C-alpha cells in the first residue's frame, strides 16, 4: 500500500487530505501516478489535471515529478509552496 | 543554539531576541513576517505538511550554521488562521560578525518563502477565498543562494 | 514612520519591533548590537559628538527611505558606559518587500559602524583601558553601498 | 573666534573637550590648523602629531583634512569613528 497526502487546493478539490492506494507498478513515476489519479471520477481531474501546477514530495522530501516512486511509503501532491 | 518551532500560537519577540542576544555574539539579526491587512483581507489561513515541515526547516538551519559563523539560529513559523497584523514567521540569527547574522537571516527567510511546505489561503470580508500563488521571484531568490 | 534616538538608557525591543510591525508592511528586519564580554572586558564606554550624531543619523535614515520602499525605520544608538550583554544599537526597518527591509537594515548598520560619530573605550578587569580602533573592513563595507 | 572640539583619545591627550581660539588666517586648512596646534606645549603634540590618525568635521560634517576652514564656527578633531 502507498499513502497519498494532499494539501491546499489539491486537497480541497479531491475532498480528502489522505488516502491509501495499491502500490503502483514498479517504475511508476510521480507523474505517472498523477495521470492515473486524474482519470478518476470526482474532483481528481480538477485537482490533478494540469501537472505543471503541481509539486510533489516522496517520504517528506521534494522531488521532481519524473521521480520513480519505488519503495516510498508516502507521496504528497500539492501546489507550489508559499511559506514565510 | 538552535531553535525550530512550528506552532499555531504567537511568540514573545522580546524573549526570542533576548535568547539570541545572550549568546555573547555581538550581533543579532531578525526578520519577522506579518499578515498584511489590505484589499479586504480578514484572515490568512496557513496549512502545512506536519511530517515534513520541522525536519526540512531543521535541515536548512543546519545548512545556515555550516555556511556562516553563527552562535545561534531561531526559526518560528506559525500555522492556522491568522488575522491582519499577526506574526507569521520569525527568523533570528546571532553572530560575532554582523554580515554573517544579516546574510544568514536573509538566506533563511528566502528559503522558507520558496521551500517550506506551507500554503496560504486568503479570506476576504465579502466571503471570497483565494489560495496565494507562489511567486517566481521567491524561487529565483532561493536559487541564488546556491550560486 | 521615522524614529531616531541617541540615548544613554536601554530600550524596549518588543515595543520597538511592535511599532514597526504595526505599519502593515508585511516584513520587519532588525539588527541589534550587543556588548561582547570577552577578554576580561568589564565595560564599553561610548562617547559621541552630540551636535552631530542625531542630524547625521537622521540624514542617513532619509537616504535609506529614498533608496528603498520602506514604511518605517527606527535607529537607536546608546552612549555612556555599557556592560557586557547590554544593547548598543538597534536598527529596524519595515517594508512590504522583505529584500528591501533586510538590505536597508544592513545598509544602516554598515553606515553607523563607519560614519556615526561614536568612539568606544574598553575597560578591562585589570584596570587597563583601550580605545577601539576603527576597522578598515567597516569603511570598505559602507563604501560598497555607493557603488 | 573658532570653536575646537575634541573626542576620544584626542580629547584625553589634550586634556579638554572644547576650546575657543582666534580665527586662523584665511585659506587655512584643517591640516594647517592641526600642524599649528601640534606645535603647542602640553598634550597637543601627542594628540595631533600624526595627522594620518585623525579625522575632522567642520560644523558637524565630516571633511577631508585638506578642507579650508573658511567661515566655519566649529572644527572637531577625533580618531576614526567606531559606531554601531
Report d(CA A2, CA A73) in Å as an integer.
5
Per-10-residue mean pLDDT for chain B, 147 residues long? 98 96 94 91 97 96 98 98 97 96 97 95 96 80 67
Which of C52, C57, C69 is closest to C109 using CA atoms?
A: C57
Check CB contact under 8 Å for B119 and A76: no
**Buried b vs exposed e over C114-144: b needs ≥16 C-beta within 10 Å?**
bbbbbbbbbbeeeeeeebbebeeebbebbee
- What are D6-16's pLDDT values in tens digits? 999 999 999 99
- Residues on chain D touching C139 (C-beta within 8 angstroms): 80
Check CB contact under 8 Å for A82 and B119: yes
Which pLDDT value is given to residue C136?
A: 73
Total beta-carbon pairs less than 8 A apart between chain B and chain C:
103
Question: Rounded to a whole number, what is the distance in angstroms from the first to the last CA of chain C?
Answer: 27
> Once rounded to an integer, what is the mean pLDDT over residues A44-70?
97
Residue extents of the structural domains in chain A: 2-78
ipTM score for this prediction: 0.91
D26 touching C (Cβ < 8 Å): no
Instruction: Specify the CATH number for the domain of residue B134.
Output: 3.90.1170.40
Chains D and C contact (Cβ–Cβ under 8 Å for 3 or more pairs): yes
A64 touching B (Cβ < 8 Å): no
Q: Grid coordinates 575646537 are at which residue?
A: D4
Helix/strand/coil (H/E/C) assignment for every residue in chain C: CEEEEEECCCCCHHHHHHHHHCCCCCEEEEEEEECCCCCCEEEEEEEECHHHHHHHHHHHHHHHHHHCCEEEEEEEEECEEECCCCEEEEEEEEECCHHHHHHHHHHHHHHHHHHCCEEEEEEECCCCEEECCCCHHHHHHHHHCCC
CB B32 within 8 A of CB C28: yes
Residue C12, phi then psi, degrees to nearest 5:
-100, 100
Which of B135, C24, D10, B106 is closest to A81 using CA atoms?
A: B135
- What are B121-140's pLDDT values in tens digits? 999 999 999 999 988 766 67
Check CB contact under 8 Å for B134 and A8: no
Report d(CA C130, CA A37) in Å as an integer.
72
What's the pTM? Answer: 0.93
Which pLDDT value is given to residue C25?
A: 85
Mean pLDDT of chain C: 94
Q: Please list the alpha-helical segments (H only) found in chain A.
A: 8-14, 30-38, 44-48
Report d(CA D79, CA B54) in Å as an integer.
49
Check CB contact under 8 Å for D84 and C56: no
Number of domains in chain B: 1
Segments forming the whole domain that contains residue B138: 2-144
Report d(CA D40, CA D35) in Å as an integer.
9
The CATH number assigned to the domain with range A2-78 reads 3.10.20.30
Cβ neighbours of residue C143 under 8 Å, at least 6 residues apart? Answer: none
Ramachandran bin of B92, using left for φ above 0, alpha for ψ from -120 to 50, beta for the remaining angles: beta
C-alpha cell at B146: 546556491
Chains that touch B (3 or more CB pairs under 8 A): A, C
Which of B2, C77, B62, A53 is closest to A77 using CA atoms?
A: A53
Element (H, E) at B59: helix B50-67
Which pLDDT value is given to residue D14?
A: 98
- Residues on chain B touching A83 (C-beta within 8 angstroms): 48, 77, 89, 112-118
Report d(CA A48, CA A75) in Å as an integer.
14
Check CB contact under 8 Å for C98 and B84: no
Query: pLDDT category, C24, cuts 50, 70, 90?
Result: confident
| Three-class DSSP category at D42 | coil
Q: Which of B30, B35, B84 sits opposite C30 (nearest CB)?
A: B30
Report d(CA A50, CA A33) in Å as an integer.
13
Residues of chain D scoring pLDDT < 50? none
Amino acid at each position: 500500500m502507498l499513502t497519498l497526502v494532499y494539501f491546499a487546493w489539491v486537497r480541497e478539490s479531491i475532498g480528502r487530505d489522505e488516502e491509501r492506494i495499491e502500490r503502483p507498478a514498479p517504475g511508476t513515476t510521480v507523474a505517472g501516478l498523477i495521470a492515473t489519479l486524474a482519470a478518476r471520477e470526482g474532483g481528481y481531474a480538477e485537482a490533478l489535471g494540469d501537472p505543471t501546477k503541481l509539486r510533489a514530495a516522496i517520504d517528506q522530501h521534494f522531488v521532481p515529478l519524473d521521480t520513480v516512486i519505488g519503495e516510498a511509503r508516502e507521496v504528497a501532491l500539492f501546489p507550489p509552496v508559499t511559506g514565510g | 543554539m538552535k531553535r525550530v518551532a512550528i506552532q499555531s500560537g504567537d511568540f514573545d519577540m522580546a524573549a526570542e531576541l533576548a535568547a539570541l542576544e545572550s549568546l555573547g555574539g555581538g550581533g543579532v539579526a531578525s526578520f519577522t513576517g506579518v499578515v498584511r491587512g489590505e484589499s479586504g483581507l480578514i484572515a490568512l489561513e496557513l496549512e502545512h505538511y506536519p511530517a515534513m515541515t520541522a525536519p526540512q526547516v531543521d535541515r536548512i538551519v543546519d545548512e545556515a550554521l555550516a555556511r556562516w559563523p553563527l552562535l545561534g539560529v531561531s526559526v518560528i513559523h506559525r500555522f492556522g488562521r491568522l488575522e491582519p497584523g499577526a506574526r507569521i514567521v520569525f527568523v533570528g540569527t546571532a553572530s560575532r560578525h554582523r554580515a554573517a547574522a544579516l546574510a544568514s537571516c536573509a538566506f533563511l527567510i528566502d528559503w522558507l518563502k520558496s521551500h517550506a511546505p506551507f500554503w496560504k489561503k486568503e479570506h476576504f470580508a465579502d466571503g471570497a477565498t483565494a489560495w496565494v500563488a507562489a511567486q517566481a521571484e521567491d524561487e529565483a531568490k532561493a536559487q541564488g543562494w546556491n550560486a
